[in-house]
Amino acid sequence: METHLDPFTSHQVITVSDPDAGLRAVIALDDLTLGPGFGGVRMRPYPTPAAAIEEAQRLARAMTFKHALAELPYGGAKSVIVADGRGLEGDARRRLFEAFGDAVARTNGRYIPGVDMATTLADMSVVRERGATVYCADADPSPWTARGVYAAMRAAVRGVLDSPDLSGVRVAVQGVGAVGGELARLVAADGGELVLADVDANRAETLAAELGGRAVPTSEIATTECDVFAPAAIARVVTADVVPQLRCRLVAGAANDTLDGPDIDAALLARGITFVPDYVANAGGVIHEHARAMGWTDERLAEAVDAIGDRVLDLVAEAGPGGSLVDAAERRGRARLAAGAGA
Ligand SMILES: NC(=O)c1ccc[n+]([C@@H]2O[C@H](COP(=O)([O-])OP(=O)(O)OC[C@H]3O[C@@H](n4cnc5c(N)ncnc54)[C@H](O)[C@@H]3O)[C@@H](O)[C@H]2O)c1
């Protein structure tokens, strides 16, 4: 099935069905101007086939911009495997990922998968065995993602709030897992004041005690009075209902797909809140995968991840006072794609 969403050239949705292996999946290839489509494989239940396609396409589009802005030689892609709600282990899981690997191999390298929600390095090894190109370094990308989010946050605090560093800046982190926990450490080391929440309340309380912050219930974190709200748990947390309740000046975090819809950025700006696009701030993970695939040194990788901060400062300058960083980022992304198409 071909879809045409906008002037980009290469949208394609591949639907995969292999009843013997229990596989129903969608591979969405967005714009491939800059290179093969790179994006993770997400496995979760979907209410309808259309919902699976829509999520794959939306996430693939974000990957196009993530790579374009991070100056990586990849297009945007994402795939989703429709889970039936039952845990899938052992031989059945292997069979499913073998079938998925066959579908990926048939794209002839146009789609490069990696891990995402509910898929693992072991699953990706099975996909690779079937002849598919797969990117997933054995090393955990999370510390690099956190480092990039920290660089983005620091730059936004400087560019938008006119504060030289995070000293005395109050940061509310939603979810202190692999990325959020490391982000909290970086913020604390920079003199930031932490408010933390996690569905695992003990995790948030222990980290808050260690770093000198405060833990609050998850129901309160988004509306806590703070300078920066940093979502680092789940998608689409900034909804039309949440916007009027926010008491922050910046939203800058790690969670993919933070905004619940295309109108939310404008609603935030109308309240004087600047949103740092998630795909700009959290690009440390994909930069890490690229660095490992290319054999970069850690020094080179660190430089590339820290450059996320410079990118955010550029976006702030381009957007102007009270301007949208989302619009600025999309303009940049499209310019990069246009330049790539002409190259
Ligand atoms: N890991 C990476 O390198 C990477 C890269 C890019 C984007 N991201 C995004 O960053 C986010 C965090 O990823 P992670 O790897 O740290 O995941 P993780 O599973 O290690 O951590 C998520 C944490 O959030 C908590 N949580 C879940 N639901 C919550 C809720 N409703 N309220 C508060 N806390 C909640 C979990 O208990 C957990 O501690 C995700 O949205 C992910 O898509 C991660």
Give this complex's ipTM. 0.99
- In tens, the pLDDT along 93-146 reads 999 999 999 999 999 999 999 988 889 989 999 999 999 999 877 788 999 999
Q: Do 80 and 146 sit in the same domain of this protein?
A: no
Q: Are residues 217 and 286 in the same domain?
A: yes
Annotated binding-site residues for NAD(+) read 175-180
Strands in 274-275's sheet, in edge-to-edge order, are 214-215, 193-197, 170-174, 228-231, 250-251, 274-275
Give percent of the chain with pLDDT exceeding 90: 88
Residues 263, 209, single domain; the answer is: yes
Cα separation, 268 vs 160, in Å, equals 14
Residue 182 token pair:
């490391």
The response to whether residue 257 sits with its C-beta less than 6 Å from ligand 1 reads no
- Is 89 contained in some domain? yes
Q: What is the DSSP letter of 34?
A: T
Classify residue 323 by burial, with Cβ atoms within 10 Å: 0-12, 13-18, 19+.
middle
Looking at the fold, whether 249 and 283 belong to one and the same domain comes out as yes
> Structurally, how many domains does the chain consist of?
2
Same domain, 147 and 296: yes
Q: Indicate if 316 and 174 belong to the same structural domain.
A: yes
* Domain extent at residue 268: 142-335
Mean pLDDT, the chain, integer: 94
Q: Given pLDDT bands bounded at 50, 70 and 90, which one contains residue 343?
A: low
Summarize pLDDT for 50-105 with one digit per residue, the tens: 999 999 999 999 999 999 999 999 999 999 999 987 778 899 999 999 999 999 99
Can you give the CATH number for the domain in which 205 is found? 3.40.50.720
Q: Is the CB of 141 under 6 A from ligand 1?
A: yes
**Based on the domain organization, do 255 and 146 belong to the same domain?**
yes
**Mutation pick for ligand 1 pocket among 138, 185, 198, 251 (CB with most ligand atoms within 8 Å):** 198
Q: How far does residue 233's CA lie from ligand 1's centre (Å)?
A: 3
Query: What's the CA angle centered on 229, arms 225 and 230, to 5 degrees?
Result: 150
pLDDT at 139: 80
Ordered DSSP codes for 139-202:
S--HHHHHHHHHHHHHHHHHHHH--SSSTT-EEEEE--SHHHHHHHHHHHHTTPEEEEE-SSHH
**Active site (annotated) includes residue 66:** no
Nearest to 329 by CA among 271, 268, 283, 286: 283
Residue 35 has pLDDT above 80, yes or no: yes
Prediction pTM value? 0.93
Q: Do 194 and 184 meet the contact criterion of CB atoms below 8 Å apart?
A: yes
Residue 27 dihedral angles phi and psi, to the nearest 5° = -110, 120
Quick count: other Cβ atoms within 10 Å of Cβ 133? 18
- Is the C-beta atom of 199 inside 6 A of ligand 1? yes
Question: Is the same domain home to 171 and 230?
Answer: yes
Assess if residue 340 is contained within a domain: no
Has residue 16 been placed in a domain?
A: yes
Tokens matching residue 231: 């979502």
